[in-house]
Chain A
Amino acid sequence: GAVVSQHPSRVICKSGTSVKIECRSLDFQATTMFWYRQFPKKSLMLMATSNEGSKATYEQGVEKDKFLINHASLTLSTLTVTSAHPEDSSFYICSARDPGTLPYEQYFGPGTRLTVT
């Protein structure tokens, strides 16, 4: 299957700082990418849908000013957690939809574990 990478895999930051997480589709062009977060022993929660060249669409209850999403190219989407606080500590996972498949297949990255101290 297609490969989606995330960087970094783990990050520790201090409260009040911002952190950027990158999501790349390595062997296909992804016009749509998705960002999820996952708390321990919980399921994945969809945060937002990222479309190349346009503003992201956020799910209800997700603060768009806190979780900035940029999808500047067909292979890269970034999630910036601004002014991070300990409650933002979580496992963040991105996925990318391959438009060359029918139905559109969606591939997930390995995740980024964010710890805010």
Chain B
Amino acid sequence: DAKTTQPPSMDCAEGRAANLPCNHSTISGNEYVYWYRQIHSQGPQYIIHGLKNNETNEMASLIITEDRKSSTLILPHATLRDTAVYYCIVSYNQGGKLIFGQGTELSVKP
């Protein structure tokens, strides 16, 4: 599976948009980009996934560059409860395992 690179930590002011970048320069054509987050001492929570097109759901938006070598997760109005470690993972649709990197620790501050 392709590896991803994320900044180890980021801060964001409450109410502002949080933009979390991820590099996946070796992604294959049929690998998806998944985002999960983990709040302290809990299991990871699914956020969003995409293949080529930008995606949006009730939690976040995912922007994937045209060459698919990087993506950005956007939390439009961050709250204190969004403080967590965010993981960007690339994986095949069928049979693909989710291999976690180090993630980005997002701290949302009042």
Interface residues of A (CB under 8 A from B): 1, 4, 6, 34, 36, 43-46, 49, 91, 93, 95, 102-111, 113
A93 to B43, CA, bound (A): 7
- Enumerate 9 A-B pairs (CB-CB under 8 Å) in ascending A order: A43-B87, A46-B100, A49-B97, A93-B44, A95-B98, A104-B96, A105-B46, A108-B45, A110-B42
Q: Using a Cβ–Cβ cut-off of 8 Å, how many residues does chain B contribute to the interface with A?
A: 21
A11 to B41, CA, bound (A): 14
Contact B93–A103 (Cβ < 8 Å): yes
Given contacts A43-B103, A91-B41, contact A34 B46 (CB under 8 A): no
Q: Which residue of B lies closest to A44 (CB)?
A: B100
A108 to B43, CA, bound (A): 6
Contact A108–B97 (Cβ < 8 Å): no
Contact A43–B100 (Cβ < 8 Å): yes
B32 shortest CB reach to chain A, Å? 6
List residues of chain A with CB within 8 A of the CB of B42. Answer: 110-111
Known A34-B97, A44-B38; further 4 A-B contacts with Cβ < 8 A: A43-B100, A45-B100, A46-B99, A104-B96
Contact B93–A110 (Cβ < 8 Å): no
A3 to B71, CA, bound (A): 28
Contact residues of B between 29 and 67, Cβ < 8 Å to A:
32, 36, 38, 41-46, 49
